[in-house]
Structure 1
């Protein structure tokens, strides 16, 4: 991997200011027709990991409790999510270092430790909830012990991250994103009034018989589930990991890669929100329509779908939980490992080899976070409460992290010739304000 400080200087000095947003847009257009599956990477994986089992539970609850009236939330958050993820990816690529390393270089140490500490706590709670959901989904399919399955899933994720070569590992994650198509498949097995769907998206309104308090809490949950800090840290780090830009950093190569980041991130986040849309739609058309409005876990949603939508729909939903969990758990523990390694000054890369005594601290964090998540499955702690507190922490720390990212991405001292343009700057700050508003609403409703 390119050294942190040198990479930033190299990438920022390869072009002058006129090679900024205008040339990047032209590169974007040139890349479009030739961008195949193999060129998609950090953006696609990051977007897919956002629809983890805990996210599925949140979207299922939104559809079950409020029907179609929550569909607008995932449409509204899409441009904001795309913008903030492009910002994080650009920071990682242009500076050659992750978000924690950039925060360490530009802000007081207490800010770094507070952000990384809250990120790790939220991620471990999220890992526990995801692994528990995977175990519960497999138990629905084949019976047996959900806790035993949770241990097996946790160990599988850990071993794959530690011992599988990085290139193979990323390809494996990329193919796992296809499991999310199960939720689109569920929607198309149902009878849905698409005209009503379009009406609900176009004209958001307060659901009949629902209190403003309950609606605000659900909006906060959906926003927090959709725009999460661990996604920022993961995508920034993956842009550094990506070997495709590790050779020559000419002006043309930098422009082309910034264009690739835009396309990759746009596709990944659109895919993520499209799946979230279908999960809300499917549960609204089945569970809400049948009067089942209290869904707490993704496995509970799958079980409730069986008598309403049939065995095939139940099977798709359950397998999707397992597939998305296998994708999301590595992203959760990996983002924590990147953040801690950067804060501590360790080597941090999935390309490091333990058999060469490389990355012991980095892989140690991955192991500790995974094992910690598995152990939480054996405590009396309520997984729903774990999800709630993880969402609270994510929502709180997302605001300062997003503000820091926007400041870094707008500084020529940090980004050189590749500071973000006006449109991206506006969208990024609107996303930050929207997240701040959800946190304020959450505090007000507590």
Structure 2
């Protein structure tokens, strides 16, 4: 046994880290960090090399979220409302960072995936619910990725069946090499290709001054008559940018990459790089789509991403249309990578399967079977003649609206669990901001679910839902503040030694205490989720039978 292997084995026994596959040297796409390399990073060259080795999780999870669904959502915003909704991206930046930073913290500190933590800390019901719902949502999301592949292939003049089969083969083969580094190199190459959106922006020449103003000044285009439509599109932008699968993916991926707390600041930099890429790409899409359709019959009449490519070709020539189709194909493949991998990680966590890209196929058969099975099933569904693809897209929206509140609530609770995060738990300011974000996400979830179930929902109904959620939020905040003032003061968190602190094995931790407020809140959440799921399934079945 080598020194590095012995060190890794000892580390796995001292902490909750799953097994030897999740400890050891970091083999990143752009560099390596040995487990026994504990030297301080003092010079700019050493810091840059470390950052290059760490880059991956934050970049992939963010760019993976600019997938086929995002192309359609941002494209619709630009084609129907110009650049008037750019401000939503600015507001989403802190939301993206806070959510993913908390997941990042959970990953590097605990060494245990998101699904496993929910199962162990909140019980079998919530563990099973989170994984089953994630599985259904991700399966449908994968179908939308392959829809994006067919749209891109159709514009480029490629055979539909061959394009889908080839893409599925690339997605599966890239993960089946038994090498984490090879997979990450493919993924980061695809992330770099997403920057094709930038030259399209300069070819189309949208009004930069107008974009700058709309980025910082919130407006609601269309007047009161279109308030409900605009509100639902804004919710769609939030939903496509803050997706439940991101939480499960990033936590497991940083564990699989073997990143530890001492590299936290480098991983945060990786996350900021990913956020910058996703916001620049989204803004570019809104901008060049708005410019391409301004003053044309297509303005306000969005169809699909293929329609955007045709509009770009008419406005600026053949090359921008081709580049957009290639970017759509690239984004769909990245999205499929991330979504299917998050599912395989979550199921491996819950069922106790060996799950790591460091393992050969024979050493993690269940993990790779889930990954490949999801990709193959999604590709097959898209190729079936007469498949209700529009209905599947609607199902994605509905399930995303149902799952997002529970995912956000569990994330906040886990990041306040001292047994889990020790000196890494949230501070008061982070909790205040995150609680507000969770409250807004829950409100948007309720509105989105209501809108999908009741397509004729009016603007006044949406405002009523917002008002009701606001009142409930204020009451909940007042209750929490009162409890905090009247309750016994907690000792301040000792944050010394954070760089070396890891969560102990899960079986040694005491279960979290359940206060009355906690029980009421979790009961209300469970009731909402069950009712929303039942209504969603009934609605989808009704639509299917109607077709």
State the TM bucket, normalised to the shorter chain. Answer: 0.7 to 0.9
Residues in 2 aligned to 1:164 and 1:358: alpha-carbon distance in whole angstroms: 9
Q: 1:113 to 1:144 in 2, by over 3 A?
A: same
State the match for 1:433 in structure 2.
439
Q: 1:401 to 1:200 in 2, by over 3 A?
A: same
1:265-344 aligned at under 5 Å gives the runs: 265-292=271-298, 293-344=300-351
State the match for 1:408 in structure 2.
414
* Structure 2 residues without counterparts, runs of 5 or longer: 1-7, 19-40, 455-547
State the match for 1:398 in structure 2.
404
Contact 2:65 2:240 in 1 (8 A): yes
State the match for 1:197 in structure 2.
211
Of 356, 363, 373, 2:368 maps to 363
Q: 1:405 to 1:137 in 2, by over 3 A?
A: same
Residues in 2 aligned to 1:126 and 1:42: alpha-carbon distance in whole angstroms: 20
Residues in 2 aligned to 1:377 and 1:273: alpha-carbon distance in whole angstroms: 29
Runs of at least 4 residues of structure 1 off by over 6 A? 1-5, 27-34
Q: How far did residue 115 of structure 1 move?
A: 1.4
Does 2:183 correspond to 1:169? yes
Residues in 1 aligned to 2:430 and 2:43: alpha-carbon distance in whole angstroms: 17
Of 167, 170, 185, 1:156 maps to 170
Contact 2:143 2:382 in 1 (8 A): yes
Residues in 1 aligned to 2:42 and 2:69: alpha-carbon distance in whole angstroms: 34
Tell me the matched-pair count. Answer: 419
State the match for 2:145 in structure 1.
130
Does 2:22 correspond to 1:7? no
Residues in 2 aligned to 1:276 and 1:329: alpha-carbon distance in whole angstroms: 19
Structure 2 SS opposite 1:348: coil
Residues in 2 aligned to 1:418 and 1:144: alpha-carbon distance in whole angstroms: 50
Q: How far did residue 58 of structure 1 move?
A: 1.2
- TM-score, normalised to structure 2's length? 0.72
Residues in 1 aligned to 2:372 and 2:181: alpha-carbon distance in whole angstroms: 20
Residues in 2 aligned to 1:42 and 1:174: alpha-carbon distance in whole angstroms: 10
State the match for 2:226 in structure 1.
211
Structure 2 SS opposite 1:403: helix
Of 368, 372, 380, 2:377 maps to 372
Q: 1:78 to 1:200 in 2, by over 3 A?
A: same
**Structure 1, residues 97-121: CA drift from partner, whole Å, max 9, x if none?**
1100100111121211111111111
Q: How far did residue 243 of structure 1 move?
A: 3.6
Q: How far did residue 232 of structure 1 move?
A: 0.8
Contact 1:4 1:95 in 2 (8 A): no
Of 419, 422, 429, 2:428 maps to 422
Residues in 2 aligned to 1:289 and 1:300: alpha-carbon distance in whole angstroms: 16
Residues in 1 aligned to 2:340 and 2:42: alpha-carbon distance in whole angstroms: 32
- Higher radius of gyration, 1 or 2: 2
Residues in 2 aligned to 1:218 and 1:29: alpha-carbon distance in whole angstroms: 47
Does 2:104 correspond to 1:89? yes
Structure 2 SS opposite 1:305: helix
Q: How far did residue 365 of structure 1 move?
A: 0.5
Contact 1:87 1:405 in 2 (8 A): yes
Residues in 2 aligned to 1:343 and 1:152: alpha-carbon distance in whole angstroms: 31
Residues in 1 aligned to 2:376 and 2:436: alpha-carbon distance in whole angstroms: 37
Residues in 2 aligned to 1:332 and 1:381: alpha-carbon distance in whole angstroms: 21
Q: How far did residue 36 of structure 1 move?
A: 4.2
Q: How far did residue 4 of structure 1 move?
A: 7.6
Contact 1:52 1:130 in 2 (8 A): yes
Q: How far did residue 433 of structure 1 move?
A: 1.9
**Structure 1, residues 61-116: CA drift from partner, whole Å, max 9, x if none?**
11111111111111111110111001111111111111001001111212111111
Residues in 1 aligned to 2:221 and 2:250: alpha-carbon distance in whole angstroms: 36
Q: Which has the higher helix share?
A: 1
Q: How far did residue 212 of structure 1 move?
A: 1.0
**Greater mean deviation of Cα atoms: 229-238 or 261-270:** 261-270
Residues in 2 aligned to 1:288 and 1:114: alpha-carbon distance in whole angstroms: 45
State the match for 2:468 in structure 1.
none
Residues in 1 aligned to 2:303 and 2:135: alpha-carbon distance in whole angstroms: 24
Q: How far did residue 387 of structure 1 move?
A: 2.4
Of 184, 194, 197, 1:180 maps to 194
Contact 1:166 1:350 in 2 (8 A): yes
Contact 2:82 2:294 in 1 (8 A): yes
State the match for 1:19 in structure 2.
none
Q: 1:135 to 1:75 in 2, by over 3 A?
A: same
- TM-score, normalised to structure 1's length? 0.88
Contact 1:132 1:147 in 2 (8 A): no
Residues in 1 aligned to 2:346 and 2:17: alpha-carbon distance in whole angstroms: 21
State the match for 1:59 in structure 2.
74
Higher relative contact order (CA 8 A, sep 6+): 1
Contact 1:72 1:201 in 2 (8 A): yes
Q: 1:299 to 1:382 in 2, by over 3 A?
A: farther
